Chain A
Amino acid sequence: MKKLVAAAIAAGLGLAISATAASAQATLAQVKQRGMLNCGSNTGLAGFGVPDAQGTWKGLDVDYCRAIAAAIFNDASKVKFIPLSAKDRFTALQSGEIDVLVRNSTWTMTRDASLGLLFTGINYYDGQGFMVRKKLGVNSALQLSGASVCTQQGTTTELNLADYFRANNLKYEVVAFATSDETVKAYDSGRCDAFTTDASGLYAERLKLTNPDEHIVLPEIISKEPLGPSVRNNDPQWFNLVKWVGFAMLNAEELGVTKANLDAQLKSENPEVKRLLGTEGKFGEQIGLTPDWAARIVKLVGNYGESFEANVGQGSLLKIARGQNALWTKGGLQYAPPVR
């Protein structure tokens, strides 16, 4: 019986491997043939992927998917968003159900090395932060000694918190809750002095408080949560394509190419702009696209800064500061290699 089961499993795995091997041939060709990009997305996260009143998905991650579709099809709407829970997101990518996963997933060594997938870059530098009441008069997390901190149970958040306070020799009291809603409620009702979770989440949760204006997010980020898109590790061309879509958006911002001034920029004499927008050279063809691939992205989606401000920055209700997500030229970490 055991042998039979083992044989069945082996046969199944063989099938699975041959199936993935078949799909390994060319993700880009498959996407083109399907006429639609299958993009694994969040089931709903403020600023990163949320349906609006018409049911259209909006957000920073969503824009990344739309940018890929824009580069391939010259049509940002040719994306099928497949909402995935945290549990089945990587399985969906491995099984070929989705072509690319852009779902606020943290880039870690284990995920890169052993899950059969590759992160293509970082589209948002997140990290754990703190929110406190303004009237507490605290400007830095280092002044939180002796504070009680609300957090969610059994998450890395709780561990990071312990590490940080121990490293800085601060006393603190953890008040942990099972769900994030309970945690926010407890903080709102004054059960604890500070509330901690990922910074992007802090801004979203702040809006749910009774008086959002009475609370501030402290500048310290105590953990590294680099969020980025990932693809299967068996298709270098597709990996490059997804990676360079992100770089194109960053380069466009750096060079000052925006949705609004794109037509003027297409006539620009700046060699860097010319290479990016495809008025000189055929750089897009190296990743299986047309020379005007980056121009399509900017025209239909916008550059990184535009997408950031509209979805999570000043143009949105979250009003997250650029911080680490500013361009390297402005003191942030967002840096893209040149197109040449």
Chain B
Amino acid sequence: MTDATLENAPYSFVRKDTLPQEAPPLSVAGPLAWIRTNLFSSPLSSILTLIGIYLVIDTVPDMIRFYLIDAVWTGSNRDACLADKVGRPVGACWAYVADRVQYFIYGSYSVSERWRVNIVFAMFALGVVWLLWNRAPLKKVGVFFFFVILPASAFILLLGGDRAEGFLRFLILATFALAVVYLVLSFKPSLIKFWIGEGQLGVEEAMPPWQRFYRPKRLILIAMVVFGLLAVLDEKVGLPRVDTGLWGGVMVTLLISAVGIVFSLPLGVLLALGRRSRLPAIQLLSVIFIEFVRGVPLITVLFMANTMLPLFVPQEWSPDRLLRPLIGVAVFAAAYMAEVVRGGLQAIPKGQYEGAMSLGLGYWQMMRLIILPQALRIVIPGIVNTFIGLFKDTTLVAIVGIFDFLRTIEATLVDPTWATPTTRGTGYAFAAIFYFLCCWGMSRYSVAVEKRLAAGQKR
């Protein structure tokens, strides 16, 4: 009885050790193979690749030379960017952008008051990071900050003057009133038994007074601090009125798109639900609104708002010139958003509705807990698409004489101080960079959100 192993195989031609692994042939691995399979896999793709390479070689070096190598980076007037004066070929005139960048950001906003805009920018950035960064703490406080504190403070800081002061006074009074209410409730929670119910009341009563209702109290505290600081600013430094006619630049672009984005989503969801509602009046109104708004060009509405409205409305009632397009843009985006959301609602199988109902959920609970979370996740690409479209549509307000970012650039292009052959190219390149970064940022963020939410059903 012998063991048939290699060691004791009687034949000398049997190989006893395994061969070392060979590198894969060049035709299936390595850079050459990659190029072959990806760039030259067929005659058509070879041709396309060659055309692509030609286009890149043709344009990229010229662009790099124009925008970087030959560019002028410093200077105080057009002489810096004139080939004659500099004695070399001149590309992009970035010195012009550097000189006018303040104007691009703030428009004609009074120079001595621009710190107010900076505060609003900082608060906006804080709010955005708070809400969008997934691991940021205290999300609910963040929501309150972004949707209540920020708009109120932005209104007070940006506009200033009597109206803002009156509004601030009202806010502080309201906050104090709420604070008093909650102070009383902390010691006598049984007063609002009818509101929070037996169970919750028991929970609150089990805690010491200062810990009761800590969630609303936290928000009131924040509001008191922020509005208090604003009041101190108003008192010590003063917030003179800066008319909206002076606003401009990035500030207006961000304002219009932020208002549009923030208002269009909730409004759009409501309209979408309304359109699918079984109540005929609500359904009809939603359909009329959506179809009417979608059927009219935005420019028409802007024109109507800015040139026709004053004909019908007495002067002292007519809304502010900046407010009109703000409302127009928000209403527009809402109508488009409604159709996007409706697409999501329609993609949810009927079983989900029936399941929710069989659990005993009411209409709003069903929508909030079961349907909308799924529907909105499906339509994230559509929602972001609408946002990006809205962001770029804000440039249309230039037509009615509002100086958004792009318009401020165009306004400086006619200025003889920087009239050179390359100023135009530089200005528009700067605008392109700004808009691209903003839109690309939005789209990247939406991709991340999609991945996070769709972890269960990757495609």
Residues of A within 8 A of B (CB): 12, 15-16, 19-20, 22-23, 30, 36, 43-47, 50-57, 80-85, 88, 91-92, 94-97, 181, 188, 204, 207-211, 213, 316-318
Q: Mark B306-343, 1 if CB is under 8 A from A, else 0.
A: 11101111110000010000000000000000000000
Shortest C-beta distance, A15 to chain B (Å), equals 5
Does B257 reach chain A (CB closer than 8 Å)?
Answer: no
Does B401 reach chain A (CB closer than 8 Å)?
Answer: yes
Q: Is the CB of B103 within 8 A of A54?
A: yes
Does B177 reach chain A (CB closer than 8 Å)?
Answer: no
Shortest C-beta distance, A239 to chain B (Å), equals 19
**B residues less than 8 Å from A211 (CB atoms):** 84
Q: In the complex, what distance in Å separates the CA atom of A30 from the CA atom of B420? A: 43
Does B145 reach chain A (CB closer than 8 Å)?
Answer: no
Q: Is the CB of B310 within 8 A of A207?
A: no
Does B107 reach chain A (CB closer than 8 Å)?
Answer: yes
Total residue contacts A-B, CB cutoff 8 A: 122
Q: In the complex, what distance in Å separates the CA atom of A43 from the CA atom of B411? A: 7
With A22-B314, A55-B248 known as contacts, the answer to whether A83 contacts B415 (CB < 8 A) is no
**B residues less than 8 Å from A84 (CB atoms):** 401
Q: Is the CB of A50 within 8 A of B411?
A: yes
Does B198 reach chain A (CB closer than 8 Å)?
Answer: no
Q: Is the CB of A88 within 8 A of B419?
A: no
Does B361 reach chain A (CB closer than 8 Å)?
Answer: no
Q: In the complex, what distance in Å separates the CA atom of A138 from the CA atom of B397? A: 45
Q: Is the CB of A88 within 8 A of B306?
A: yes
- Which of A88, A210, A213 contacts B307, CB < 8 Å? A88
Does B410 reach chain A (CB closer than 8 Å)?
Answer: yes
Q: Is the CB of A85 within 8 A of B399?
A: yes
For chain B residues 385-425, which have a beta carbon within 8 Å of chain A?
398-401, 403, 407-408, 410-417, 419-421, 423-424
Shortest C-beta distance, B139 to chain A (Å), equals 38
| Complex A-B: 21 CB contacts under 8 Å | A12-B312, A30-B315, A44-B410, A44-B412, A50-B414, A50-B415, A54-B102, A54-B111, A55-B106, A56-B108, A85-B399, A88-B303, A92-B307, A94-B311, A95-B307, A95-B308, A97-B306, A207-B419, A208-B424, A210-B421, A317-B78
**B residues less than 8 Å from A12 (CB atoms):** 311-312
**A residues less than 8 Å from B311 (CB atoms):** 12, 15-16, 19-20, 94-96
**B residues less than 8 Å from A96 (CB atoms):** 310-311, 315
Q: In the complex, what distance in Å separates the CA atom of A211 from the CA atom of B424? A: 16
With A16-B311, A16-B312 known as contacts, the answer to whether A210 contacts B419 (CB < 8 A) is no
**B residues less than 8 Å from A208 (CB atoms):** 419-421, 423-424
Q: With A12-B312, A88-B303, A92-B310 given, name 8 new contacts (CB 8 A).
A: A19-B311, A19-B314, A23-B315, A44-B410, A46-B416, A50-B411, A51-B412, A88-B400
Does B234 reach chain A (CB closer than 8 Å)?
Answer: no
Q: In the complex, what distance in Å separates the CA atom of A15 from the CA atom of B310? A: 11
Does B246 reach chain A (CB closer than 8 Å)?
Answer: yes
**B residues less than 8 Å from A204 (CB atoms):** 414, 416, 419
